[in-house]
Amino acid sequence: MTLRAALFFLVTHALVIALIGPQDPVGSYLLLITAPSLAALACVRRARGSQAACKWRLLGAAVGLFSLALLALLYRNVAGLAPAQITASSLILYVFYRVPLTYVAASPGGGNRSIRTVDLAVIALLWLLYYLHMRAMAPLNTALWTQCLHTMSSVQNSLVFCFALIRFLAEDNPDRRDFFRTLSIYALGYFLLALYINTYQPQIPDGSWADLLISALFVLLAVMAGSRRRRPPVAVSCSLRRIVDAGVPLMLPLLLMMVALLVARLQPGLAMAGFIGAMFAYALRSVLSQVEVQRQRDELETLARRDPLTGLGNRRSFDESLGAAHRRARRQGQGLAVLMIDIDHFKRLNDTYGHPEGDRRLRAVAGILDGCLQRGDDLLPRYGGEEFIAALPSPEAMHALHLGERLRAAVESAALPAAEGHVTISVGVAWQAASDPYEPGDLVDRADQALYRAKHAGRNRVHLAPALQARDAPAAPRA
5-25 tens-digit pLDDT: 889 988 988 888 888 876 667
Q: Could you say which of 281, 302, 323 is where a domain stops?
A: 302
Q: What pLDDT is recorded for position 470?
A: 45
Residue 143 pLDDT class (50, 70, 90 cuts): low
| 282 and 373 part of one domain | no
Phi, psi dihedral angles at 39 (to 5 degrees):
-65, -40
| CB distance 312 to 399 below 8 Å | no
Residues 180 and 327 both lie in one domain: no
Quick one: which H or E segment has residue 278? helix 268-304
Shortest CA distance to 344 belongs to which of 282, 308, 388, 309? 388
pLDDT in tens, 115-142: 888 888 888 888 788 777 777 766 655 5
Q: Are residues 39 and 143 in the same domain?
A: yes
> Residue 268: pLDDT above 80?
yes
Q: Helix, strand, coil proportions of the chain in percent (round to 5)?
A: 70, 10, 25
CATH number for the domain spanning 330: value is: 3.30.70.270
How close are the terminal C-alpha atoms of the chain, in Å? 83
- 474 located within any domain: no
The alpha carbons of the chain give a radius of gyration, in whole angstroms, of: 35
Q: Are 243 and 88 within 8 A, CB to CB?
A: no
Would you state the pLDDT for residue 152?
74
93: closest CA among 55, 142, 131, 51?
A: 131
- Output phi, psi for 426, to 5 deg: -115, 145
d(CA 260, CA 389): 64
Q: Is the dihedral of CA 77, 82, 85, 86 positive or negative?
A: positive
Q: Which of residues 77 and 173 earns the better pLDDT score?
A: 173
Which range among 45-59, 72-86, 230-244, 440-454 shows the weakest confidence by mean pLDDT?
72-86
Q: For residues 399 and 263, what is the distance between their CA atoms, to the nearest angstrom?
A: 81
Residue 238 in domain: yes
Between 15 and 473, the higher pLDDT residue: 15
- C-alpha 465/C-alpha 447 separation (Å) is 6
Instruction: Quote the pLDDT of residue 205.
Output: 63
Residue 388 DSSP one-character state? E
Q: Mean pLDDT across the stretch 346-353?
A: 87
Q: What is the DSSP secondary structure assignment for residue 153, as one 8-state letter? A: H
252 lies in the same domain as 160: yes
Total structural domains in the chain? 2
Question: What is the torsional sign of CA 297, 300, 304, 305?
Answer: positive
Of all residues in the chain, the percent with pLDDT exceeding 70 is 86
pLDDT bin (cut points 50, 70, 90) of residue 245 is confident
Confidence (pLDDT) at 298? 82
Please name the amino acid found at residue 175.
D
What is the pLDDT, as a whole number, of residue 95? 62
Q: Write out pLDDT tens, residues 377-408.
A: 788 899 988 999 999 898 899 999 999 999 99
Edge-to-edge strands of the sheet including 335-343?
A: 382-384, 387-394, 335-343, 425-432, 462-464
Domain with 275, as residue range(s), is: 3-302
Report whether 288 contacts 118 (CB < 8 A): yes
